[in-house]
A and B are shown apart, each in its own frame.
Chain A
Amino acid sequence: MEQRTPLYQAHLRAGAKMVNFGGWDMPVNYGSQIDEHHAVRRDAGMFDVSHMCIVDLEGSDTREFLHVLVANYIGKLKQPGKALYSCMLNPDGGVIDDLILYYMRDGWFRLVVNAATAEKDLAWMHQQAQSFTALEIKRRSDLGMIAVQGPNARQKVIQALRGFTVKDEDERLSSLGRFFGQDMEKMFVARTGYTGEDGFEIAVGGEQCEFVWKLLLDEGVTPCGLGARDTLRLEAGMNLYGSDMDESTTPLESGLEWTVGWEPVSRQFIGRSALEAQRETGTTRKLVGLVLLERGVLRSQQKVLCQQHGAGRITSGSFSPTLSKSIALARVPSSVGINEHCKVEIRDKQSSAKVVKYPFVKGGKSCL
């Protein structure tokens, strides 16, 4: 039996098609996945992301613990509320999970990790926490989460939540900076997301989730399923854990070198020496974007033939509703250059594709 979020009944009432995702019964769409995709690029859409796991780390050892636990450097976070994207690595430099963390205040960091990896992540955190005494790891199963994304998302959230916010909270929402989160009386709101659009992610008590969802619905925010979430994040060039990277790949092979906090050199995070060795010798494979030049659809696991460089494989592929063509992320030999052409094996045919930089879409517009 799959787990259900606090919004399960709301999804059924909205006519959602439900699928199993990482052990959770989640909406894949409410009718048309493409319409939902466009709603986010052009207006505002909302996603139930309650399946994602919120973990609070508290205590005076939290900072020291995170210096070891994650590859990015939390010392970059000077202002309370600031968010940071990072990988959590094993000693070989393989990615255990990718996560976002918020510096709430001294002695309190909030982490959001993937649903399918939550148990593994928590076990790993507890194992690494053994030498830290002033540290508590709290799984916040009491919270649900709604991501509202799109050019009109912030304005609609602020409007919808008048009455739910107290005192000056609507002003605080208006002035919340990009990649910042803020704890409020009845919710936690962050200006983050997984679509490439501006917007908020709102964490509220499970019992309040449906009420907030309804307020947003009344404000004209379009419910969107995991289908649209996947095409949106792919267009935005954001990796999906388990598809674009996992424990057998390092951040350097996954287009995530920018998330590795090399400085200060004295910080011994888990996986550091493996990454340094790889940086020294150079990686043999890397993640690139592909655009299909013919008709068809690129899909995960299709083989990519890169002329003299050798072969690679698609890690995520789909049809891009914004570009009306097929796009993909692929792991290919490091020598492959941008704008080179390659062939992708689609069923019994070889179709031409071009290697491109990603993101594919930014601010609702094509980057191609």
Chain B
Amino acid sequence: MSEIPSELRYTKSHEWVRSMEDGHLEIGISDHAQEMLGDMVYVELPEVGATVNTGDDCAVVESVKAASDVYAPISGEIVEVNSMLSEAPETINSDPYGEGWLFRLQPVDDNEVDELLDAEGYSEVVEAEN
């Protein structure tokens, strides 16, 4: 059974969102998602400064097996990307909720994050897939 930390928010498309102290949101893919994709070998991240709308495909993670789009869970501006991943994409496998984060954004609307799934809601999504 994959890990689903209770302090994070989630999307049906398997991204997680962490609210940071400075008001930014940190985004990555869930433990379940990395498990389904398998060994990561390549990551394509958005450009810092780019604006994204909820649901836009804004990053790509590729495992040996397949390429998978990552969608923006929230509208906002990209403020930072985890450039360490280009050298060590396998970090997404080993630490999906920590060192394996993908990008950080400044949300347009601070309340939009509340509309995302909580851990319980997301675990139902995962269960329905199994």
Contacts and interface: CB of A to CB of B under 8 A. Distances in A.
A80 interface: no
A33 B36 CA distance: 12
Contacts of A319: 41-42, 62, 64
Contacts of A32: 38-39, 93
A17 to B, nearest CB: 8
Contact of B38 (A33, A299, A326, A347): A33
Contacts of B67: 297, 299, 347
Contacts of A34: 39, 64
A59 interface: no
A32 B37 CA distance: 10
B86 interface: yes
Interface of A: 17, 28-29, 32-34, 227, 231, 295-297, 299, 318-319, 321, 326, 347
Contact of A28 (B41, B42, B62, B65): B65
A17 B36 CA distance: 9
Interface string B55-81: 000001010110100000000000000
3 nearest A-B residue pairs (beta carbon): A319-B41, A34-B39, A297-B62
B65 A295 contact: no
30 contacts: A17-B35, A17-B38, A28-B38, A28-B65, A32-B38, A32-B39, A33-B38, A33-B64, A33-B65, A34-B39, A34-B64, A227-B38, A227-B64, A227-B65, A231-B64, A295-B42, A295-B86, A296-B42, A296-B62, A297-B41, A297-B42, A297-B62, A297-B67, A318-B64, A319-B42, A319-B64, A321-B64, A326-B42, A347-B60, A347-B67
Given A29-B38, A33-B65, A295-B42, 17 more contacts: A17-B38, A28-B38, A28-B65, A32-B38, A32-B93, A33-B64, A34-B39, A34-B64, A227-B38, A295-B86, A296-B44, A296-B62, A297-B41, A297-B42, A319-B41, A321-B64, A326-B42
Contacts of B38: 17, 28-29, 32-33, 227
A115 to B, nearest CB: 19
A296 B60 CA distance: 10
B44, B86, B93: residue with the most chain A Cβ atoms closer than 10 Å:
B44
Nearest to B90: A34
A17 B64 CA distance: 15
Contacts of B62: 296-297, 319
Contacts of A326: 42
Contacts of B41: 297, 319
Contacts of A296: 42, 44, 62
Nearest to B42: A297
A227 B64 CA distance: 8
Contact of B39 (A33, A295, A299, A347): A33
Contacts of B86: 295
B59 to A, nearest CB: 12
Interface in B1-46: 35, 38-39, 41-42, 44
Contacts of A318: 64
B50 to A, nearest CB: 14
Contacts of A321: 64
A34 B63 CA distance: 10
